[in-house]
Amino acid sequence: MSVTNVQRLYEERPGAADFVSGYFEYIAQILARVDPNTVAAFIHQLEHARTNGATVFFCGNGGSAATSSHFQNDLTRWRTKPLRVVSLTDNVAVITALANDYSYEQIFVMQLEPLLAPDDVVVVISASGNSPNVVKAVEFARSRKAVTIALTGFDGGQVGAACDVHVNIPCLVGEYGPVEDLHMVVDHVVMSYLWEKWSVEAGPQMDTRGQ
State the pLDDT at residue 23: 95
pTM check: above 0.85: yes
Does one domain contain both 124 and 86?
Answer: yes
Contact criterion met (CB below 8 Å) for 207 and 37:
no
pLDDT of 1 over the 80 cut: no
Nearest to 152 by CA among 122, 176, 116: 176
Do residue 16 and residue 44 come from a single domain?
Answer: no
Average pLDDT over residues 192-205: 83
Question: What does the pLDDT read at residue 200?
Answer: 83
pLDDT score, position 81: 81
The reply to whether 4 and 64 lie within a common domain is no
Q: Residue 189 — very low, low, confident or very high, per pLDDT cuts 50/70/90?
A: very high
Return the amino acid letter for 22. Answer: G
Per-residue pLDDT, 149: 98
| pLDDT tens, position by position, 110-157 | 999 999 999 999 999 999 999 999 999 999 999 999 999 999 999 999
Question: SS3 of 165, please?
Answer: strand
Q: What is the CATH number of the domain that holds 109?
A: 3.40.50.10490
CB neighbours of residue 4 within 10 Å: 17
Which residues, in sequence order, are bridge partners of residue 168?
Answer: 152
Residue 171: phi, psi to the nearest 5? -150, 180
Residues 90 and 15 in one domain: no
Residue 53: predicted pLDDT: 95
Contact indicator for 208, 88 with CB cutoff of 8 Å: no
Neighbours of 29 (CB within 10 A): 12
- In this structure, the answer to whether residues 110 and 132 fall within a common structural domain is yes
| pLDDT value of position 207 | 52
Contacts of 150 (CB under 8 A, 6+ apart): 123, 124, 125, 126, 129, 138, 156, 159, 160, 162, 163, 165, 166, 167
- pLDDT tens digits, residue range 171-187? 999 999 999 999 999 99
H-assigned helices in 79-172: 92-101, 109-112, 132-143, 157-162
Domain contains 136 = yes
Query: In the prediction, which pLDDT does 210 show?
Result: 52
- The verdict on 94 and 145 lying in the same domain is yes
What pLDDT is recorded for position 186?
98
Mean pLDDT along residues 40-56 = 97
* Nearest residue to 134 (alpha-carbon basis) of 114, 107, 111: 107
User: 211 pLDDT exceeds 70?
Assistant: no
pLDDT (tens digit per residue) in 67-122: 999 999 999 877 678 899 999 999 999 999 999 999 999 999 999 999 999 999 99
Q: Are 152 and 127 a contacting pair, CB within 8 Å?
A: yes
Q: Are 70 and 148 in the same domain?
A: yes
User: Residue 178, exposed/middle/buried by CB under 10 A (0-12, 13-18, 19+)?
Assistant: buried
User: Which residues touch 137 (CB under 8 Å, ≥6 apart)?
Assistant: 59, 88, 108, 109, 112, 122, 124
Domain of residue 136 covers: 35-206
